[in-house]
Structure 1
Amino acid sequence: MRLTPLLPILAVVTSVLAVPPALAEGDGPLPLWHAGIEQGYQQLAEATADLETSARRYCQTPSDSARSRLDDQWRTAFDAWQAVRFVDFGPVEQNTLGWQFQFWPDPKNLVARKAGYYLGMEEPVSAADVDEAGVAVQGFPMVEYLLFDSRIKEGDRGLPSDQACSLLTAVSAHLAENAEGLSSAWTTLERPYRTNEQYRGATVESGMAALSLLEERRLGGPMGLRGGGKRSVYGADAWRSGHSLAAIRASLQGLYDFYLPGLESALRQAGNPTLASRIRSQFEETLARFDNLPDAMAPLLSDERFGELQGLYADLSQLATLVNDQAGTALDVVRGFNSSDGD
């Protein structure tokens, strides 16, 4: 796939050429945020490139060791995406890139249905097929399905069959190309981002929306705290791979690494250093909760261990309140509508 020219970005560049360079220097929130997100996107590009390499090597010479490396590399790349998933503005808006990395939620199991179609084709799946296939085919959930779905692993259409390998390598290449393009586009955005204060509100709001999504949908949904009130792991990310809680932790770690430093700087500039310290402490307390939890969410949905999820939910809810309500008020940023959660 080839990314289309980033016309909105070029327009912003033109509009901010006269902005003084002071905002682009020092350790203010905009430089901190840009540098952090840039690092996250670079890590995503490297991890997806490694995923593509692992997929090709496995399909060329299948072995247990190659399969283990491939499975691990999917987890690494998926976590790298989770770490920057909070960024819902800028280059990731082009060509619905966010959805191309991860089609979620998937209540109609569209990923599995699409996989069945492409695995049933007579001809190998090509890069052009994936480019034209739509977001349910193009991202991490499709690779996860091929690697971890119990039914496809037991059948003769699964890996390392020729057809499954053609789909795996085509989707992995698509992910790697998109990640490299996203990383390059973010670097191009550096000056307009660091000199345009409009990005301040957009970045604060993106973290607020990500925390709400974690609380309400990614954790609260499977816990039965939303909708019909039934516990179900099928509403979680990465349930096929048993990586649901690990993915939530990766998202929270990404917010801690790439979002919190700029947020703290913005709060200090606004005269709220105490709130900045409270938010950091709450981030660290919430992250520490994961130390004693499994990567999978399913075991914790049982009555015997549900209290562990409730404790995590309480910490995450407190963090969301501190950022969305108190920090948002202090920085005069109100969370708006977020279209990235599938509603």
Structure 2
Amino acid sequence: MFRPKLLFTSLAALALGACAPQDPQAVTSAAIAKQVILPTYSRWVEADRQLAVSALSYCEGKIDLATARADFQHAQKAWAELQPLLVGPLAEGNRSWQVQFWPDKKNLVGRQIEQLVTAQPQIDAAALAKSSVVVQGLSAYEYILFDDKSNVADATQKARYCPLLTAIGERQKQLAEEILASWNSTDGMLAQMTTFPNQRYADSHEAIADLLRAQVTALDTLKKKLGTPMGRQTKGIPQPFQADAWRSQSSLPSMRASLAAAQTVWAGVDNKGLRGLLPADQKPLADKIDAAYAAALKLFDSTPRTLTEMLGDDAGRQQLNDIYDSLNAVHRLHEGELAKALGIQLGFNANDGD
């Protein structure tokens, strides 16, 4: 029997459901995943695909050393942009170590590469995947193309290192593709940051907390990547060989790329970043964080010299101190005031104990 009253009640309930406000943290989590993180992972995959092609082309004599080095620096930048976005599978296990081995206080990269090219002169990607993480990633690739000892400008040396170079290129491509496929899978990170609850996050607040923890850890790591070569842990004695990507002189550009990526998570696309979650009465804090990012990026952009060059004189060291202080300001704002404003307990970060 037709019941108009029941139908009206059902339609009214549907209408109310459609008008119900969306959870802002769920909207922000989904927006950051779709508009910031996923495109950055996709660029990383494309850069590593190009790296694999580049290694093969260089070893076949189709491109020169300068082009091969430029392709490495492109991949290094793509990886640096991922640092503030390390949530999910790439942050688990030792996967990030498989991409880049840092810090390397005992030159394990150089020592283990020399052992490997002697022990397995015709190594391929499958065998490399079973080797130490030290020789699988960008740090090893950089050593081959840039270190004086490898000296691949010499034809004999090039032939010696090329099997490993092409294996690393292929290994990095495979790893990046695996991670991206995992993100896009049915129950992958993209789904887990979009629909709640799920097996990773009980609610959207947990996802936002995870994002902020990744930001805080990345900003803390940036301070370490600059502070270590500056000698902040060695009584002011510079340690240029402790810098990230020092062989290719990519240290400062990599740091800037990481900072810019962190700013994108903060600002979001169409204001759907962490910034958009702050209530109106927190505008002074939002403005303070905006200004801190702008100041830090401006300092990076005003330093055309390499990190090694800047460590060599007083003026350069003062500039590096200014950059460090600016990074510290961004880090402290995220770790303290932003976490408090968003109601997030950070706990320990991945660098605690380093």
- In 2, distance between residues paired with 1:191 and 1:200? 14
Counterpart residue type for residue 227 of structure 2: G
Pick aligned residue for 1:104 from 98, 102, 110: 102
- In 2, distance between residues paired with 1:40 and 1:71? 21
Q: Given the alignment of the two structures, is residue 332 of structure 1 paired with residue 343 of structure 2, yes or no?
A: yes
- In 1, distance between residues paired with 2:353 and 2:64? 35
**Residues 127 and 229 of structure 1: is their aligned pair in 2 closer, same or farther, counting only changes over 3 Å?**
same
Residue matched to 2:144: 146
CA contact (8 A) 1:144 1:238 kept: yes
Residue matched to 1:134: 132
- In 2, distance between residues paired with 1:296 and 1:287? 16
Pick aligned residue for 2:166 from 136, 157, 169: 169
Shift of 1:253: 1.3
- TM-score, normalisation: structure 1: 0.85
- In 1, distance between residues paired with 2:228 and 2:240? 9
Percent of aligned pairs with the same residue? Answer: 29
Deviates more, 1:228-237 or 1:331-340: 331-340
Larger Rg: 1 or 2? 2
CA contact (8 A) 1:245 1:296 kept: yes
Shift of 1:228: 4.2
Counterpart residue type for residue 31 of structure 1: A
- In 1, distance between residues paired with 2:353 and 2:157? 30
CA contact (8 A) 2:80 2:255 kept: yes
Residue matched to 1:251: 258
Residue matched to 2:246: 239
Pick aligned residue for 1:263 from 253, 274, 293: 274
**Residues 26 and 158 of structure 1: is their aligned pair in 2 closer, same or farther, counting only changes over 3 Å?**
farther
Shift of 1:284: 1.6
**Residues 295 and 252 of structure 1: is their aligned pair in 2 closer, same or farther, counting only changes over 3 Å?**
farther
- In 1, distance between residues paired with 2:90 and 2:352? 15
For residues 88-237 of structure 1, the aligned pairs below 5 Å read 88-121=86-119, 123-153=121-151, 159-161=157-159, 163-188=160-185, 189-195=189-195, 196-197=203-204, 198-215=206-223, 217-237=224-244
CA contact (8 A) 1:219 1:236 kept: yes
Residue matched to 2:285: 275
Shift of 1:341: 7.9
- Count residues with an aligned counterpart: 318
Shift of 1:210: 1.0
- In 1, distance between residues paired with 2:299 and 2:93? 36
- In 2, distance between residues paired with 1:315 and 1:230? 21
**Residues 295 and 28 of structure 1: is their aligned pair in 2 closer, same or farther, counting only changes over 3 Å?**
farther
CA contact (8 A) 1:105 1:341 kept: no
CA contact (8 A) 2:65 2:153 kept: no
Pick aligned residue for 2:325 from 314, 328, 331: 314
Task: Report SS of the residue matched to 2:64.
Answer: helix
- In 1, distance between residues paired with 2:47 and 2:21? 33
Counterpart residue type for residue 204 of structure 1: L
Task: Report SS of the residue matched to 1:124.
Answer: coil
The one-character-per-residue Cα deviations of 1:92-151 (angstroms, maximum 9, x if unpaired) are: 134421111111111111111111012213640112221111210111000000010112
CA contact (8 A) 1:246 1:295 kept: no
Unmatched 5+ residue regions in structure 2?
Answer: 1-19, 196-202
